[in-house]
């Protein structure tokens, strides 16, 4: 069983950020969906992501410190993995994969971060 979450973030301007060892990336204005997991203490992981002040450890930390957190959706004890959830979101919605490898350095996914730009129609 897995504990998963989706962070929904908003960025209102084009910005270049250095993301740990991944390097510099350009983030466009829009809505970002990040899929993550927590083996245990799901609530504590989410609380950490919501905090603005923290040591930058995971890729998503570089965004949660600056982008506006709109919503967190949590799933406790589900049978599917974060990779399966990310793949489902990619297939189901008209989203862009902005960063290959973002949040997916420990799996075979291309990304766990998706962007819906404000200029694209739903």
What is the pTM assigned to this prediction?
Answer: 0.90
Give Cα separations from 17 to 28, 47, 117, 121 (angstroms). 11, 23, 17, 26
Tell me the pLDDT tens digit for each residue of 76-89: 999 999 999 988 88
Q: How far apart are CA 17 and CA 112, in angstroms?
A: 17
Domain residue ranges in the chain: 2-117
Higher-scoring residue by pLDDT: 105, 28: 28
The residues pairing with 25 across neighbouring beta strands, listed in sequence order, are 17
Q: What's the confidence (pLDDT) of residue 62? A: 96
pLDDT digits (tens, 9 = 90+) for 22-57: 899 999 999 999 999 998 899 999 999 999 999 999
């Amino acid at each position: 069983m897995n504990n998963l979450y989706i962070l929904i973030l908003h960025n209102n301007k084009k910005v270049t950020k250095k993301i740990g060892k991944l390097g510099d990336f350009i983030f466009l204005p829009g809505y970002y969906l990040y899929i993550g997991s927590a083996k245990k203490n799901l609530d504590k992981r989410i609380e950490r992501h919501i905090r603005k002040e923290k040591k930058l450890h995971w890729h998503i930390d570089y965004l949660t410190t600056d982008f506006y957190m709109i919503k967190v959706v949590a799933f406790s004890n589900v049978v599917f993995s974060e990779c399966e959830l990310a793949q489902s979101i990619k297939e189901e919605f008209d989203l862009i994969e902005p960063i290959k490898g973002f949040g997916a350095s420990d799996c075979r996914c291309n990304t766990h971060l998706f962007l819906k730009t404000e200029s694209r129609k739903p």
